[in-house]
Structure 1
Amino acid sequence: MKTKIMKPPEWYDVIRYHIVPPVFMVVFTGAVQYLALVGQGEINITWRLAASKALGNSFSWGCVALFSLWAILWLQLPAGQVHGPPTLFGYRPPYQDNGVLYYWASLVGFFTMQAMWPDLSSAIFSNMPELLGTLNLVALTLCTLLLLKGKLKPEHRDDRYPTRPVLYEFYTGLERHPHILGMDVKQLTNCRIGMMAWQLLILAFYLAGVQRHGFSAATLVNLLLQSVYVAKFFWWEAGYFSTLDIILDRAGYYICWGCLVWVPCLYTFSSYYLVAHPPIISTTTALLIAILGLFTILLNYRVDYEKQLFRRAPDGKCNLWGKPARFIEAQYKDSSGNVRTSKLLLSGFWGSARHLNYTFELLASLAWCLPGFGLGVWPFLYFNFLACLLVHRTFRDEEKCAVKYGHNWGRYCQKVPFRLIPHVF
């Protein structure tokens, strides 16, 4: 029995290829500057005020240059390598395997600079609109270079898809695994700059808040939960290279601008907002939030660990929840027409819901936003965005899997009928 793949209606292609990319790029690029001012407590926000910060200043350009060079250095240093899963055309992308060392070295470097310049964190907070303006310009320049590179000198011609409108190509990118100066672009933007900027910025915002208002258990919980999450990411970085961000998404505005600008802006926003708007919850409430958050982060890690354990096991032979792992062998054809096989896991958490990792990630993000409870909707902006993003990603991922695996994907969905919440959705 073959799965019939329905061609989307013409109006859908018009929206997808011609409307969404320019609208999203204008809205999100502009929203960054607006949010930077909202977080600082600005009331009378005008386009002129936002535009005045968009080109950055000497402080912002110095910080971005120094941090970028630091990240690039760690991708050039001698280190072990790990490989991502093979692409449809047989390429196995290599990655530097020094993420944990990079993470701790970056923290040591930050605290050293903070000790030398005690006002550093407050300066980072005060110059956040300029920092985001600088990152915007750098990211848009990089995306332009990636578009030109993908058109003029692609590394893997088998990886190209049919020509689309140029704004759509700029938005999605053209290549999945491009390299610049010998570095994997997505490891640089997603991991070494985006994720590490998340960690360093929330540290700076916490210290800036302490300098303004004194110690707060709520802001400490906000910092610690995010720090555990980011530290877990670097400890698990090799596993990240097997996620859909890496194996399916191409390097363009959506991924590269998102990691260079949107992550430092939105993902840190709950911490950023609490600097100018100190939390009002009690210490006891903060402690309960910490327990909830740590538990959900642990569950999120466990889900990812089960998938990684299964992938590394020869022929999928491993135990999950005390029983041999069950799976469906799904065949598909690569770009050369060769038949390949993937294993779709049916055991452990992956037998409860097809994207339970997204559910626990949402709960973790809610936990570190909760210290801002009682301060309006702004501290929960990241959680609301992430909920929309992950629900959209769930359907997008499943559409791609249905095309790739055909009727075997239907078999898998019958065995694991729920997407995010067992017995609910």
Structure 2
Amino acid sequence: MVVSSGPLNPKTASYEFNGISGVLGITFGLPLLCVVLNQMIRPDFYIVGLFTNLDIAELWNHIKPLKWYLTNKELWTYYLTWFGVLALFDVLLPGNTIDGVELRDGTKLPYKINGIALTSTLLATLTVRWQLTKGEMPELQYLYENQTDLCIITVIFAFVMAFFLYAASFIPLAHKNGKETRERILSVSGNTGNPVYDWFIGRELNPRLGPLDLKLFCELRPGLLLWFLINVACLHHHYLATGEVNNAILFVTLAQGFYVFDGVLNEEGCLTMMDITTDGFGYMLAFGDLALVPFTYSLQARYLSVSPITLSRPYLAFLSSTMALGYYIFHSANKQKSDFRQGKLPHLKSIDTKRGTKLLCDGWWGISQHMNYFGDWLISLSWCLATGFQTPLTYYYSLYFAALLVHRQQRDEHLCKIKYGDDWHRYESEVPYKIVPYVY
């Protein structure tokens, strides 16, 4: 066990997102964007001429006062039941327990990996409900018809959760005997002492509610699976309205469903990601995981349920090939890096660092510094292309995802320059491209 020689919780010396002004802009700007995007995709809103016929006042016709959302028992019951049942499943369903990465105090947190049990339970529940309701599925109809209202409820929930997480980060953890306490491990980026910034970034690194790891749970359960459920609701709505299954919306539902369940079933891979190992859990991740992912990543299915298009077989084959290529690059690059860290690929070229570790610069990781990001972006592009070219609105995901990946690469590069010093400059000379080979 190696314990860091520095302070357990070093003070954060620099601000990201252009400091407090940027943080406040994101805090209120992104929820507004979520609502606007959901309002744009309505059967009674003219989407095709998005930028020439945009009526801002029309976007707010279906938005109620804030008090209505705060006191709406039906919406809160719907969402809290979804969140609470998934939390119970996460704790109670069987699975293997593995350790996460070593923390600054030399300990490792245990994580229950039960994605297979959860996926099986969810799909079985949907199948049973389909049989019992003879295909009506009122829960899916409610989700489809109240998507914008549920989006606002989820945003409010993320705000509340972030305040709870921030307050709880100041309470010392009790040892098993209940008589002694120890300091919580804080995020290296969320310990500035500024309450607004730390609330946004996340002060505590791995907040837990009993056996439930809140950050990993929110990363992989309520938001990610709600994205899949919204897509299914859109497909279901189109089927009820037309009696047909449109191949474009079916492709998007199946392709994104595969992506979602691939993440859930390979959840142990998240334990080494920046979100889990470095970032605190505050408003940034709570809002992103719970609201931004399900209510903006589902725009393609939402759009196709309103304005369906039929894909030709050659074009459908092109979309499937693009996604398959992206998935192959994404999956094989991540596996190659994981195998290298476990010492399984000693023949691959690497750079020895003064820290005693190695920087891989061969295979996929000799082509670009984040080849997995490039594969992930190709996957996103295939989904957007399935909506045709009638509106730029459905390309939001691919454009946003590109900006997100570039920002994540820049954050990672900043941390690596601090961590590796001159060794990182040697690595950059070996692998000059950041994400897209021969481009960036």
Within 2, Cα distance between the matches of 1:64 and 1:159?
Answer: 29
Asked if 1 retains the 8 angstrom alpha-carbon contact of 2:39 and 2:59, the reply is no
> Alignment identity in percent?
24
Partner of 1:255: 285
Any idea what the Cα deviations from partners look like across 1:312-349, whole Å, max 9, x if unmatched? x2xx2426xxxx223223344xxxxxxxx433212221
57 and 297 in structure 1: CA distance in 2 versus 1, 3 angstrom threshold: farther
Partner of 1:235: 265
Give 1:82 deviation, angstroms.
1.6
Give 1:91 deviation, angstroms.
2.8
Q: Which residue, out of 125, 136, 148, partners 2:155?
A: 136
| Residues 1:418 and 2:426 are matched in the alignment | no
Q: Which residue, out of 295, 302, 306, partners 1:272?
A: 302
14 and 259 in structure 1: CA distance in 2 versus 1, 3 angstrom threshold: closer
Q: Which residue, out of 206, 209, 216, partners 1:187?
A: 216
Asked if 2 retains the 8 angstrom alpha-carbon contact of 1:54 and 1:132, the reply is no
Question: How many residues matched?
Answer: 400
Structure 2: unaligned runs, 5 residues or longer: 1-12, 46-56, 174-181
Note the 1:48-197 alignment, pairs <5 A. Answer: 49-52=62-65, 54-55=69-70, 57-77=72-92, 78-117=94-133, 118-120=136-138, 121-153=140-172, 156-159=183-186, 161=188, 162-197=191-226
Partner of 1:325: 348
Partner of 2:48: none
Within 2, Cα distance between the matches of 1:14 and 1:276?
Answer: 39
Secondary structure, counterpart of 1:84 in structure 2: strand
Any idea what the Cα deviations from partners look like across 1:223-267, whole Å, max 9, x if unmatched? 121122112212221011111111111101111121011111111
Give 1:13 deviation, angstroms.
5.3
Partner of 2:23: 21
Asked if 2 retains the 8 angstrom alpha-carbon contact of 1:352 and 1:416, the reply is yes
Note the 1:296-311 alignment, pairs <5 A. Answer: 296-311=326-341
Within 2, Cα distance between the matches of 1:176 and 1:306?
Answer: 27
Asked if 2 retains the 8 angstrom alpha-carbon contact of 1:103 and 1:196, the reply is no
Which amino acid in structure 2 is aligned with residue 131 of structure 1? Answer: L
Within 2, Cα distance between the matches of 1:258 and 1:387?
Answer: 15
97 and 297 in structure 1: CA distance in 2 versus 1, 3 angstrom threshold: same
Give 1:46 deviation, angstroms.
4.5
What is the TM-score normalised by the length of structure 2? Answer: 0.84
62 and 13 in structure 1: CA distance in 2 versus 1, 3 angstrom threshold: closer
Partner of 1:201: 230
Give 1:283 deviation, angstroms.
4.1
Secondary structure, counterpart of 2:102 in structure 1: coil
Give 1:424 deviation, angstroms.
2.3
Within 2, Cα distance between the matches of 1:245 and 1:79?
Answer: 22
Within 1, Cα distance between the matches of 2:143 and 2:249?
Answer: 17
Which amino acid in structure 2 is aligned with residue 31 of structure 1? Answer: L
Give 1:306 deviation, angstroms.
1.1
Give 1:166 deviation, angstroms.
1.6
222 and 238 in structure 1: CA distance in 2 versus 1, 3 angstrom threshold: same
Within 1, Cα distance between the matches of 2:186 and 2:130?
Answer: 45
Q: Which residue, out of 412, 415, 421, partners 1:397?
A: 412
Structure 1: unaligned runs, 5 residues or longer: 1-9, 333-340
Structure having the larger proportion of residues in helix: 1
Give 1:114 deviation, angstroms.
3.5
361 and 56 in structure 1: CA distance in 2 versus 1, 3 angstrom threshold: farther
Asked if 2 retains the 8 angstrom alpha-carbon contact of 1:56 and 1:131, the reply is no
158 and 371 in structure 1: CA distance in 2 versus 1, 3 angstrom threshold: closer
Partner of 1:337: none
| Residues 1:45 and 2:62 are matched in the alignment | no
Within 1, Cα distance between the matches of 2:119 and 2:164?
Answer: 28
277 and 172 in structure 1: CA distance in 2 versus 1, 3 angstrom threshold: same
Within 1, Cα distance between the matches of 2:204 and 2:261?
Answer: 28
| Residues 1:356 and 2:386 are matched in the alignment | no
> In angstroms, what is the RMSD of aligned CA positions?
2.3
